[in-house]
Amino acid sequence: MAKAVASRKDVAQLAGVSETVVSYVINNNRYVKDEKREKVLKAIEELDYRPNRIARALKGKSSKHIILLIDRIKSEYYGELISDIEHFSGDLGYLVSVSLIVNSLNYVNNIIDWNVDGVIISSIHFPEKYIRKLAEAGIPVVLMKNRDFPPMNGVDFINTGLKEGTKKAVDYLYDTGCRRIGYVDRLSQNNHFSTMADFRYRGYYEAVTGRHEPVIISGCTSPEQLQEQLMQVMRSAPLDGIFCRNDGIACAVMNTLLRYRYRIPEDVSIIGMDDTAYAKTSYPTLTTLRQSREEIAKTAIRLIEGVNAGEAIGQEICFEPRLIIRESVREQ
């Protein structure tokens, strides 16, 4: 049987101190009495609690290295988010590495051993147990809250407002006269489709509840499947409003509807999310939700800086997307 990896809680229990004291010793950012410090150091040694990383942290040496963990790189939104994070972190002397997430314990242990100053995570499927493990290793973790997460010790959250933004978009469709509104999910080859834990999906679901039955187009692995599902819905019980998970999906939906002689927005109003180049150059131009990307990037770096300077961990900073009105929706 593999040996269990020691946590900060284990160190605290063995040393007879609080986890906060252990954190102070590891990060060397608060005064701790020599007696308690020695107990913590001894417990760290006995439990083999990542000794190489901790030895360096105890010397007060910063790596000036932050890792951004994401599911996808090939999207305009993430490309711009990476650029913003690099811009704001570069001004403070940090190097940012971008890594596509791998769901394995070895991957997480490698991150811990890289001696980074912080980790920023934006993922729809990275397991909570791995996020907790990074935090328990004493690494400042900033988690983009794009799905439901339970409270986690040692983690700061950034709520990008996906649920409230989606509800705002769906409400706007109702305000313009739409009465049967659908949700179109992402395409995925890996079965990563929306559930109630996903804030965009939940925002749509809550917005239509009490108005009509939710109409969900999901489970598609290709544009052809998406087109087939969409047209099955339109032939059986037509939609007059559609909220799409992102701008790329929204443009695919618009192209399909236009091909089948539906008028946009006269017959169907459509809203996307992310305010990418798709939204500005599509025909008609796409109404979309724009996240506060620059402020989100700046806040993520500030939270990591704060934790390393000894500020409290466990904050949740909330943002609200802005609805950008263009030609794909009817006028109010």
Residues with Cβ < 8 Å from 215, sequence gap 6 or more? 180, 181, 182, 183, 233, 237, 239
Q: What is the pTM of this model?
A: 0.79
pLDDT attached to residue 54: 47
Note the Cα 76 to chain centre separation in Å.
15
User: Domain 65-160+292-321 maps to which CATH number in 3.30.470.20, 3.40.50.2300, 1.10.443.10, 3.30.450.40?
Assistant: 3.40.50.2300
Cα distance between residue 174 and residue 176, in whole Å: 5
CATH H superfamily, domain 163-290 = Response regulator (3.40.50.2300)
Cα distance between residue 215 and residue 233, in whole Å: 8
Class of domain 8-58: mainly alpha
Contact assessment for residue 85 and residue 297, using Cβ atoms and an 8 Å cutoff = yes
pLDDT tens over the chain, length 332 residues: 445 667 778 888 999 998 888 877 876 667 788 888 889 888 887 887 764 444 444 445 677 899 999 988 778 888 888 899 999 888 888 899 999 999 888 889 888 888 889 999 999 889 999 999 999 888 999 999 988 888 888 899 999 999 999 999 999 999 999 999 999 999 998 888 999 999 999 999 999 999 999 999 999 999 999 999 999 999 999 999 999 999 999 999 999 999 999 999 999 999 999 999 999 999 999 999 999 999 999 999 999 988 888 887 888 999 999 999 999 999 87
State residue 243 phi and psi, 5-degree precision. -105, 130
Report the run of H or E that residue 14 belongs to, with start and end. helix 8-15
In the chain, where are the structural domains located? 8-58, 65-160+292-321, 163-290
Q: What stretches of 137-215 show up as alpha helix (H) in DSSP?
A: 162-175, 199-208
163-290 and 65-160+292-321 share a CATH fold: yes
